[in-house]
Amino acid sequence: MEHTIRMIDFKKDWTSLGLPAHVIEVLSAAPALYVAETREDLFNWALGREAGATDWNHSNREDKGEYETTFDVPGHGPIVEAVVTKARNGLVVNFPDTRMRRRDPDAMVIGDSLPTDKPTYLERFGEKFDKMRQKTLDWLKTQELVVVPFFAGPDELGYGALLICPKQASFFAGALADLQGMIPNSAVPSNFKLDGGVLFIAPPFRHTHYDGKQIVVHARTQTHQEIYAYNLYPGPSAKKGVYSMLLDIGEREGWTTNHCAAVGVVTPYDNQLTIMHEGASGGGKSEMTEHIHRMEDGRLLLGKNVVTGEERTLVLPEGCHLNPMADDMACAHPNFNDGQTKLNVMDAENGWFVRVDHIKGYGTDPHLERLCMKPTRPLVFLNHYIIPGGQCLLWEHAEDAPGKPCTNPRVIIPRDMIDGISTGPATVNIRSFGVRCPPTHKDSQQYGIVGMLHILSPALAWLWRLVAPRGHANPSIQDSKGMQSEGVGSYWAFCTGRRVDQANLLLRQIVSNTETRHVLIPNQYIGAWHVGFMSEWIAREYLARRGSARFSKEQLVESPCSLLGYVPRQIMVEGSMIPPVLLHVNKQFEGGEEVFAEGARQWREFFKRELKPYLTEDLDPLGRKIIEACLNDATQEDYWKLIPHQMFKS
């Protein structure tokens, strides 16, 4: 007989849940607690209204509501942290302080004494976090609070978490509810357990203690993580902060959450394939779930040569049908794998934090534009220009300065609003890694020597996830110069522990799932050719049409750079041949073997520089062998022997 779990009214019965003592103190002392029954309750509070007060129908043209999220800051007076505007299609949130419009890569600070490779609060601020933590809790006790119970990661895993924030910052609670999901006030399980973590929001302290900067302090315990966010941009807290919770849980339990998108690809002939695409911000994760962008006449612009101006196009009558599965993070929990030797993942989010800086005008992405312009329910937009009561348009970005659009406009889309969305765990056939490449030719001898598609051995695929290149013109990190690393798994920015522990988890994941195959896909440039994300979309179409068929040795050629694995001799999609210069970069007239050799040298130096710090006594012995092989300029055969796997047709 199934055991039925009783539901409680959180607002009335939260004291029965066995929450930590300091959480109980904060909730007990607060002048008022607000716990939403629906996301629209949070949206109403974000506008300073009562629950149920707003007509959210798209036809409502008369509601010109606007609310300033203001805090009285000692020594500074009232400070407006955000302006929340009612639009016909949702809420538009704008931050007067331009520093709050994107994630600060230095926002994370570790406020505990557990093992970590990240900067600690003591190192950065010269004192332990204890005093500041207590000041934060004491301030929250004086505020009317919104509390949002939710599950970190998939609901099926049941990692309970809480958001506690001031009521005047309810837009933040609405954003989190869309990103991570929310448990309605009357539907909190009586066995709800805070084993995911708790997120405290206290904006005034960034002015009184942190010179106006984004600071998010992560304080881990043996059972959960606490996050103290001193700013209201949701990126480093409601988004990546919860990711950090999942990484901590996985570190304790022996699994990880991959920084990836995943999509089910169905060809016009009903062949099906699941691709999981990893990489740093800007590495093409979201684009892997996008439909191909076409020219006005329906052709595909494969690329434009930046030296000669030549263009290459492709006619593709019908593209694959897409069933999106994940956009940025996916849990690879053991419960999702039923003894298979292929990786199984499930979306770790309830909504997708979609950057729309690439949408410059109407018609750029009709699917996304149609969804957001007249949504079935109101959405949350960030960093967009809006007239109160008007329509928020994806291409109307806020300006950081006159004539300088914000580079990080966003919209949060609940995943159940996305057309063709796939639910439940997915079995991954192809695991790809994306890297942003610069223009590379005789007058620009850089590292953009990656062809449209490279086939990697499992050992080499692991190394790519350790070095995780941030790549050319990264849109999320403003200070990116030269070749830099995003860190292990490309999710190191969100980790609170040690690099080596995550490296070991990723190695174990790859070794346990050898039937999932690995590829490398560039974007932006292939040698002298500007391709944007077209290389990714063409590779997706090609791999889906090939299905699970293995390559024969005759179909592949070793790359002259051993770090790049194998390259298909040729790629044909629907009877059209992909130009060989987009596969074999060393054959490009604008660069040739000499420029390719220089790019290969840069890649070798980068790998060796980034891999050496992993050679610690806690590194898995197999991982040590793989890294040492790379440091000794291993061949393809060397890598295949380290993690044996049948790649070629027998």
pLDDT tens track for 87-114: 999 999 999 999 999 999 899 999 999 9
pLDDT at 1: 38
Which CATH number does 7-56+106-253 carry?
3.40.449.10
Q: What mean pLDDT is predicted for residues 553-563?
A: 94
**421-473 confidence digits (pLDDT tens):** 988 899 999 999 999 999 999 999 999 999 999 999 999 999 999 999 988 87
d(CA 160, CA 5): 15
| pLDDT greater at residue 530 or residue 271 | 530
| Residue 133 pLDDT > 50 | yes
Categorize the per-residue pLDDT at 476 as very low, low, confident or very high, splitting at 50, 70 and 90.
low
* Same-fold call for 7-56+106-253 versus 257-291+319-349+422-585+603-621: no
Q: In the predicted model, what is the mean pLDDT of residues 483-503?
A: 95
Give CB contacts under 8 A, 24+ apart, made by 75-81. 75/207, 75/208, 76/207, 76/208, 79/204, 79/207, 81/169, 81/203, 81/231, 81/232
Mean pLDDT in residue range 16-42: 96
Confidence of residue 327 (pLDDT cuts 50, 70, 90): very high
pLDDT surpasses 80 at 343: yes
pLDDT greater than 80 at residue 646: no
What six digits make up the tokens of 198? 């708790």
Determine the topology of domain 257-291+319-349+422-585+603-621 in CATH. Answer: Phosphoenolpyruvate Carboxykinase; domain 3 (3.90.228)
Cβ partners under 8 Å of residue 167, min gap 6: 32, 34, 45, 143, 144, 145, 146
Average of per-residue pLDDT across 536-549: 92
- Exposed, middle or buried, 527 (CB in 10 Å: 0-12/13-18/19+)? buried
Report which of 255, 271, 266 is spatially closest to residue 291, judged by C-alpha positions: 266
Tell me the mean pLDDT in the region 117-129.
97
Q: Is the pLDDT of residue 497 over 90?
A: yes
Above 50 in pLDDT, residue 129?
yes
Q: To the nearest 10°, report the CA torsion of 541, 545, 549, 553.
A: -60
Domain definitions of the chain by residue range: 7-56+106-253, 257-291+319-349+422-585+603-621
Q: Is the separation of the CB atoms in 618 and 606 below 8 Å?
A: no
Residue 492 phi, psi dihedral angles, 5° rounding: -60, -30
Per-residue pLDDT, 549: 74
The alpha-helical segments, DSSP class H, found in 512-647 are 534-546, 592-611, 621-631, 636-642
DSSP collapsed to 3 states, 410-446: EEEEEHHHCCCCCCCCEECCEEEEEEECCCCECCECC
- 184 near 192, Cβ under 8 Å? no
Q: What is the pLDDT of residue 545?
A: 94
Q: Estimate the share of the chain in helix, then strand, then coil, as percent rounded to the nearest 5.
A: 30, 25, 45
| pLDDT reported for residue 470 | 87
**How far lies 613's CA from each of 261, 602, 625, in Å?**
28, 18, 14
What is the percent of the chain where pLDDT is above 90? 88
Rounded to an integer, what distance in angstroms lies between the CA atom of residue 462 and that of residue 452? 20
What token pair was written down for 279?
């990489």
Q: What is the average pLDDT score of the chain?
A: 94
Section 175-199 average pLDDT: 96
pLDDT greater than 90 at residue 649:
no
Amino acid 475: pLDDT: 57
Q: What is the DSSP letter of 237?
A: I
CA atoms of 299 and 307, how far apart (whole Å): 22
Q: How confident is the model at residue 609 (pLDDT cuts 50, 70, 90)?
A: very high
pLDDT at 222 over 50: yes
Q: What is the per-residue pLDDT for 211?
A: 95
State how far the Cα of 444 lies from the Cα of 527, in Å rounded to an integer: 9
DSSP-derived secondary structure letter, 378: -
Q: In what order do the strands lie in the sheet with 351-355?
A: 66-73, 77-87, 90-94, 379-382, 410-414, 351-355
> How long a stretch of residues is the chain?
650
Tokens linked to 371: 């969804």
Query: What 3 state SS string does 186-216 have?
Result: HHEECCCCCCCEEEEECCCHHHHCCCCCCCE
Q: pTM of the prediction? A: 0.94
Q: Which long-range contacts does 589-592 make (Cβ < 8 Å, 24+ apart)? A: 590/305, 590/307, 590/308, 590/441, 590/442, 590/527, 590/528, 591/440, 591/441, 591/442, 591/445, 591/449, 591/527, 591/528, 592/442
Question: Is the pLDDT confidence value at 187 over 80?
Answer: yes
- At residue 623, does pLDDT exceed 70? yes
Rounded mean pLDDT, 166-171: 98
pLDDT at 29 over 90: yes
Whether the CB-CB separation of 451 and 584 falls below 8 Å is answered with: yes
Q: How many helices (H) and strands (E) does the chain have?
A: 16, 33
Determine how many CB atoms are found less than 10 A away from the CB of residue 31.
10
Two structure tokens written together for 325: 């599965």
Q: What is the dihedral of CA 16, 21, 22, 23, to 10 degrees?
A: -20
